Amino acid sequence: KAGWTELDVRAVDTVRVLAADAVQKVGNGHPGTAMSLAPAAYLLYQNVMRHDPSDSHWLGRDRFVLSCGHSSLTQYIQLYLSGYGLELDDLKALRTWGSLTPGHPEVHHTNGVEITTGPLGSGLAAAVGMAMAQRRQRGLFDPDAKAGTSPFDHHVWVLASDGDIMEGVTHEASALAGHQELGNLTVIYDQNTISIEDKTEISFSEDVAARYEAYGWNTVTIDWRGDGSSGGYVENIDQLFTALERSRTSRKPTLVVLRTIIAWPAPTKQDTGKSHGSALGDAEIAATKELLGFDPKKSFEVPRSLLTHTRKVVARGKAAHKAWDKGYAAWRKAEPERAALLDRLVAGKLPDGLDKAVPTFAADAKGIATRAASGKVLGALADVAPELWGGSADLAESNNTTMEGQPSFIPKSKQTREWSGGPYGRTLHFGIREFGMGMILNGIALDGLTRPYGGTFLVFSDYMRPSVRLAAIQQAPVTFVWTHDSIGLGEDGPTHQPIEHLAALRAIPSFDVVRPADANETGAAWLTILRNRRPAGLALSRQNLPIVDRSGANGAGKVSGVAKGAYVLYDSSKATPDVILVATGSEVQLAVEARETLEKAGIATRVVSMPCREWFEEQTPAYREKVLPAAVKARVSVEAGVPQGWRDIVGDAGEIIGIDHFGASADAATLFREFGFTAAAVVAAAKKSLKTVKGK
Amino acid sequence: KAGWTELDVRAVDTVRVLAADAVQKVGNGHPGTAMSLAPAAYLLYQNVMRHDPSDSHWLGRDRFVLSCGHSSLTQYIQLYLSGYGLELDDLKALRTWGSLTPGHPEVHHTNGVEITTGPLGSGLAAAVGMAMAQRRQRGLFDPDAKAGTSPFDHHVWVLASDGDIMEGVTHEASALAGHQELGNLTVIYDQNTISIEDKTEISFSEDVAARYEAYGWNTVTIDWRGDGSSGGYVENIDQLFTALERSRTSRKPTLVVLRTIIAWPAPTKQDTGKSHGSALGDAEIAATKELLGFDPKKSFEVPRSLLTHTRKVVARGKAAHKAWDKGYAAWRKAEPERAALLDRLVAGKLPDGLDKAVPTFAADAKGIATRAASGKVLGALADVAPELWGGSADLAESNNTTMEGQPSFIPKSKQTREWSGGPYGRTLHFGIREFGMGMILNGIALDGLTRPYGGTFLVFSDYMRPSVRLAAIQQAPVTFVWTHDSIGLGEDGPTHQPIEHLAALRAIPSFDVVRPADANETGAAWLTILRNRRPAGLALSRQNLPIVDRSGANGAGKVSGVAKGAYVLYDSSKATPDVILVATGSEVQLAVEARETLEKAGIATRVVSMPCREWFEEQTPAYREKVLPAAVKARVSVEAGVPQGWRDIVGDAGEIIGIDHFGASADAATLFREFGFTAAAVVAAAKKSLKTVKGK
């Protein structure tokens, strides 16, 4: 039993009227769910979750994910009542410029918020990643402790809505959560059957509990609605409490289907679409307050005594933390090496000698694919950087995402003839679920200690795009490994050939798109990505790419230039080049070949390899000028993608070699030739650009 | 019973060896599924589907969707055997430049292919759209006929794979198919439990049939694997035939779970991940041929007699078509008005007077949101263009996608207090399933007669992006209605504010992004989109935008300029402007305001409204020069999105006003001001650009 007193009931009712008041004050927002979920949220923060409001980064804390992020008040008001630092004025500033209470919860912005949510489905799907991260971390630090006895045991709690449940991404992540037997994950699904188009029955009639059982979840249905009439509505807290407590020790993830009436108990707007996303209006709020025994003339009224009561959770949290500290100290003493690793990860530092671990690839005209180089880099980093782990959405061999010899992260019973492993394994198998993978990677990164990566074909970055955006918004250090990065993938044809994807991904703010030109650039790219600790995507070739001779013999630029985003790979024979060829990835070799022809024709030609435009933009103006002198207007860019965005680099007099239509099904060599990616085309473009410059 | 003879069994085995041969010849591809699905595909084409190979556009035909598009041979070989025009040489040219047999099936490319598939999940999800289209068309043309008696009754048959079933998009579309009670849809789910990472058990252990039952589907499991041993494998054709025939008259969609062994009966590579996506190798193919009684030394061997037998389906198809013609002729006679409508739709023509039906909006400084204008345009077109229908992913009121007074497309039993309708209704309710919506819209458009549209917030175009790409690849005339198209949506904050989406969507080849500046541009945009009959996305404002005075009184350009993608909205006081301001959508008003200030300061300023860059690029060089004279180098672009791509318009000397970071939660006015979208900023940028030009 939760053991609620009248004061707790009053606190919950206070949450309801605060939610209504806050939305009313700003004039827009989502009051309904915050009102009806008030008891569940209060129960979580006051009675269920292990957390310490005085230390929101406590390693042992449970995680809370508000998947229905539009109901941000559900979380903000609990953070206020629990003493996380939010005060009444913050609630009054809801959804206004500069406030701590934006429309949707934002991690790194409001203390106590673990994850940015709002796009439906994203929270629940990322929570699956958090639960996976917990298990992996447990395996890294304390694999032998009995269940529930380790300082690294934490639980992930999710509040989700009808919208979350309808979205495809939660299907993907939930199927995987069931498969992975994530007993450390509990989802309260607020089945209020109301969305923006009013009753969800207009588009939604599936049996959700049966679906989750089909995934291998435990499900519990708790029906507060009763017969659906107002009179029948009973918020049975103890029943919910029991279900949540039981879920804590389950060996499967748990879905609690909680049937509520949205905006309960607003007299006329409960159970309506309007109460989901609009202010209730003064009259309705007054009526609600009267119903609950509040003064209808007062707003934002919270007696000190009530706050004193709810903030007792601080003391309880501190006590729990203290108790945990004991076990943690014992663990540190017993496990000095693991403790050292933990300290490094908590500090966000990379291991010493990481750069030395990255393999060097000898010059080779035939070369290897950058995806293959990436696989070798990952393998070489495996022992040095245990925080690094990942896998693929069913393309392990194609994406080269498996660190050789590392076990799969999988329940023992689900090993297959090809893959062995266990619950603490390292190689992830996402199935054919790219979007779920992206959100799970975000959740892993947000859980805080490890560095996840995940692979698919570049063209399918589209499937996971909302997760890439959320990685960027949250600056979650996820590495997306996107192979088969151009028409160079060949025969699979237009549906599988990325054309617009490099441009489309570069368009995402605060996200790094990295397209190395050879094996050594690939190693340098990985190193830089790990150092930057930001979300990044690697675009890697399916086909072999020649490995540039970096011995210094032929004047090739050092691979350390990769970290600067662009660098002079081969300079021109004259101090100031006549023309600059800028290329990325697999097209750099075309620029190199064209340079030889141009130089022979007496045209001083510089080749710039530009693996990451975002990194280059961060360099000093002096460095950028050194690489791309403003005075040299004759320029050509070469990239097997849409021209969009390259005008900024080549300028009015420049030429852009790209592809602005879909690809075709044929071998790669034919496609490059037919679509105009040849050294001859680069030479012609260089001459055209020189002519344009002279013509001015 | 299917009544197969030995010749049919031989034909099926011939399919298997042809599949192995074709992949072996080109050296890459997917033989396994084509081998094991040979009997199911043959059964569909020979015994189950109503189709006429001599007329692949027959209105009464069933539709076939190969959702596992990588197994394109499954379809190509049946098209060859059925006499659709593919011959042995085409199979030999598999996956090569210019062939009729590309890696994945492509509509408009290979006769008999109804839809481009390959990206997993897309086929099954689009098939749901086809089934919905069939019902809507039935309602338009022959609503009163008894079930199974109308020329407009066709059935949709799908072959899907494990990958299709894992993807989130099929969850979304299948949930909706169950909800919509689409009895005209049958999916054969080839449960071979093999994907690229070998046994799917590594990531996939859900009970798929139970999940589909939870959606409201009929499910039938047919287990050819038996005990999983080779000896236990029995391809019970009659059992499958019975299930398929039963599904034809079901009142729910049907999922047939067909348990197969991939690459059956290849002796060593059956049931392996390798056989999924790689050539089997000469030895394995020879062994398979011996096993099946073929000459292992011969390839692509099809006796004339066998082809004669399988191509009898042409005569059967013609006979079915002829029988159908009778009913069709009777219907035409009885329904001359409906027949006239059908003729117009089959011809792909728009109704007369469409332009007159588009409302005109009077000049208004306060104006209305372009989303509201779009809603009014749709309402005005409702009676004139019955082919137009659509809805929203649970944002009907926000997206203004409901044609006033039109019934919902929904089973009678699923009407709600807010929405009434019936199975032949017009307003679509997709639920919170953006990606499913996108694929369903594609399926509706591909079914051929109607013009679908669907709405969500612009930021969630990310969720549906793979469907937008497939609309573009297939040139399916879908209109995506994306509202709340900038930071102007205000308080919902960064997760809901599109920043990079206009650029990212423009990056997609063959796709039109249209962002009207006021209500009248919105009307012209709809008209142009409908006329162009191409996939397009409308970016519409949440906030009110002033309605330009088009009376001619103040020299504003005509709204007909919208169709050209860009036009002079207000010209400069001098024949040749000193500076050109180019803007789209809600930022056009800033350019207009800035122009007044600049003109007052003696700077001749032209404002160009550029609602669609793709349309502008299609204009003659002369027109483009007229709007943007090359000689005028001082230019400013203004758009509340990333700057990416605007350098092409403004040139080296130009200035770009954009936003290259995520937004924030606050009211729209504050955001525009804080993020630098003001008339004053446009004025300053214009002066800066003029200075740059002079400095040269």
Active-site position among B114, B235, B434, B655: B434
Judge: B207–A195 Cβ closer than 8 Å, yes or no.
no
Active-site position among A284, A387, A434, A655: A434
Nearest by CB to A410, which of B202, B216, B645? B202
Judge: B96–A667 Cβ closer than 8 Å, yes or no.
yes
Tell me the HSE value of B644 on the side-chain side, using a 13 A CA sphere: 29
The residue of chain B with its CA nearest to that of A412 is: B202
Residue A228 above 90 pLDDT?
no
Domain-by-domain residue ranges, chain B?
A: 6-319, 354-546, 561-695
pLDDT (tens digit per residue) in B444-488: 999 999 999 999 999 999 999 999 999 999 999 999 999 999 999
Judge: A106–B465 Cβ closer than 8 Å, yes or no.
no
Judge: B206–A176 Cβ closer than 8 Å, yes or no.
no
Which residues of chain A have a CB within 8 Å of the CB of B170? Answer: 168
Averaged over A595-615, what is the pLDDT?
A: 98
Residue A230 above 70 pLDDT?
no
SS3 A368: strand
Where residue B696 falls among pLDDT bands split at 50, 70, 90? low
Nearest by CB to A168, which of B196, B435, B465? B435
The pLDDT value given to residue A229: 64
Type and span of the H or E element at B512: strand B512-514
Judge: A496–B103 Cβ closer than 8 Å, yes or no.
yes
Judge: B506–A644 Cβ closer than 8 Å, yes or no.
yes
The residue of chain A with its CA nearest to that of B675 is: A97
Minimum distance, in Å, between the CA of residue A507 and any CA atom of chain B: 5
Nearest by CB to B665, which of A95, A197, A642? A95
Which residues of chain A have a CB within 8 Å of the CB of B206? Answer: 175, 178-179, 214-216
The pLDDT value given to residue A429: 98
Report how far residue A118's alpha carbon sits from residue A106's, in angstroms, rounded to the nearest whole number: 9
Residue A385 above 90 pLDDT?
yes
pLDDT (tens digit per residue) in A509-561: 999 999 999 999 999 999 999 999 999 999 999 999 999 999 888 899 999 99
The pLDDT value given to residue B228: 62
Interface test with A, best of B190, B205, B399 (most A CBs within 10 A): B205
Judge: A642–B509 Cβ closer than 8 Å, yes or no.
yes
Tally the residues of chain B.
696
Residue B288 above 90 pLDDT?
yes
Q: What is the rounded end-to-end Cα distance, in angstroms, of chain A?
A: 83
% of residues, chain B, pLDDT over 90: 98
Which residues of chain B have a CB within 8 Å of the CB of A97? Answer: 664-667, 670-671, 674
Averaged over A592-607, what is the pLDDT?
A: 98
Nearest to B88 by CA among B74, B96, B97, B76: B76
Averaged over B508-512, what is the pLDDT?
A: 98
Fold for domain A560-695?
Rossmann fold (3.40.50)
Q: List the Cα angle B139/B143/B146 in 5-degree steps.
A: 130
Given CB atoms, is B182 within the 8 Å cutoff of chain A?
no
pLDDT (tens digit per residue) in A443-480: 999 999 999 999 999 999 999 999 999 999 999 999 99
Residue B231 above 90 pLDDT?
no
pLDDT (tens digit per residue) in A1-45: 999 999 999 999 999 999 999 999 999 999 999 999 999 999 999
Token output for B214: 């939870």
Nearest by CB to B418, which of A26, A170, A273? A273
Which residues of chain A have a CB within 8 Å of the CB of B660? Answer: 509
Q: How many CB pairs lie under 8 A apart between chains A and B? A: 355
Nearest to B390 by CA among B424, B426, B358, B345: B426
The residue of chain A with its CA nearest to that of B471 is: A495
Minimum distance, in Å, between the CA of residue A461 and any CA atom of chain B: 9
pLDDT (tens digit per residue) in B146-186: 988 999 999 999 999 999 999 999 999 999 999 999 999 99
Judge: A433–B167 Cβ closer than 8 Å, yes or no.
yes
Judge: B118–A493 Cβ closer than 8 Å, yes or no.
yes
Sorted by sequence, the CB contacts under 8 Å of residue A476 that are 6+ apart come out as A441, A442, A445, A446, A470, A535
Averaged over A369-396, what is the pLDDT?
A: 98
Residue B261 above 90 pLDDT?
yes
Residue A371 above 70 pLDDT?
yes
Q: How many CB atoms lie within 10 A of CB B347?
A: 8
pLDDT (tens digit per residue) in A236-283: 999 999 999 999 999 999 999 999 999 999 999 999 999 999 999 999
Q: Average per-residue pLDDT in chain A? A: 97
Averaged over A191-214, what is the pLDDT?
A: 96
Judge: A472–B662 Cβ closer than 8 Å, yes or no.
yes
Nearest by CB to A495, which of B198, B473, B662? B473
Given CB atoms, is A511 within the 8 Å cutoff of chain B?
no
Averaged over B607-613, what is the pLDDT?
A: 98
- Tell which CATH classification among 3.60.130.10, 3.40.50.970, 3.40.50.800, 3.30.565.10 matches the domain B354-546: 3.40.50.970
Which residues of chain B have a CB within 8 Å of the CB of A120? Answer: 432
DSSP string for residues in B365-380? EEEEEHHHHHHHHHHH
The pLDDT value given to residue A696: 65
Given CB atoms, is B274 within the 8 Å cutoff of chain A?
no
Residue B229 above 80 pLDDT?
no
Given CB atoms, is B626 within the 8 Å cutoff of chain A?
no
The residue of chain A with its CA nearest to that of B402 is: A197
Given CB atoms, is B168 within the 8 Å cutoff of chain A?
yes
SS3 A292: helix
Report how far residue A12's alpha carbon sits from residue A16's, in angstroms, rounded to the nearest whole number: 7
DSSP string for residues in B401-463? -PPTTPPEES-GGG--SS--EETT-SEEE--S-HHHHHHHHHHHHHHSS-EEEEEEEGGGGGT
Judge: A460–B645 Cβ closer than 8 Å, yes or no.
no
Report how far residue A488's alpha carbon sits from residue A543's, in angstroms, rounded to the nearest whole number: 6
Q: How many CB atoms lie within 10 A of CB A304?
A: 7
The pLDDT value given to residue B650: 98
Given CB atoms, is A617 within the 8 Å cutoff of chain B?
no
Residue B11 above 90 pLDDT?
yes
Judge: A175–B460 Cβ closer than 8 Å, yes or no.
no
Chain mean position to CA B40: 27
Nearest to B473 by CA among B89, B117, B25: B117
Which residues of chain A have a CB within 8 Å of the CB of B418? Answer: 197-199, 202, 273
Report how far residue B78's alpha carbon sits from residue B669's, in angstroms, rounded to the nearest whole number: 60
The pLDDT value given to residue A66: 98
Which residues of chain B have a CB within 8 Å of the CB of A674? Answer: 97
The residue of chain B with its CA nearest to that of A180 is: B203
Given CB atoms, is B435 within the 8 Å cutoff of chain A?
yes
The pLDDT value given to residue A327: 97
Given CB atoms, is A26 within the 8 Å cutoff of chain B?
yes
Which residues of chain A have a CB within 8 Å of the CB of B116? Answer: 494-495
The residue of chain A with its CA nearest to that of B398 is: A196
Given CB atoms, is B475 within the 8 Å cutoff of chain A?
no
Judge: A495–B470 Cβ closer than 8 Å, yes or no.
yes
Chain mean position to CA A670: 37
Given CB atoms, is B72 within the 8 Å cutoff of chain A?
no
Catalytic annotation present for A434:
yes
Nearest by CB to B432, which of A195, A651, A667? A195
CATH of domain B561-695: 3.40.50.920
Given CB atoms, is A417 within the 8 Å cutoff of chain B?
yes
Report how far residue A145's alpha carbon sits from residue B258's, in angstroms, rounded to the nearest whole number: 44
The pLDDT value given to residue A294: 97
Minimum distance, in Å, between the CA of residue A237 and any CA atom of chain B: 28
pLDDT (tens digit per residue) in B312-370: 999 999 999 999 999 999 999 999 999 999 999 999 999 999 999 999 999 999 999 99
Residue B159 in contact with residue B127, Cβ under 8 Å?
Answer: no
Whether B6-319 and B354-546 share one fold: the answer is yes
% of residues, chain B, pLDDT over 70: 99
- Tell which CATH classification among 3.40.50.970, 1.10.240.10, 3.40.190.10, 2.60.40.1250 matches the domain B6-319: 3.40.50.970
Q: Average per-residue pLDDT in chain B? A: 97
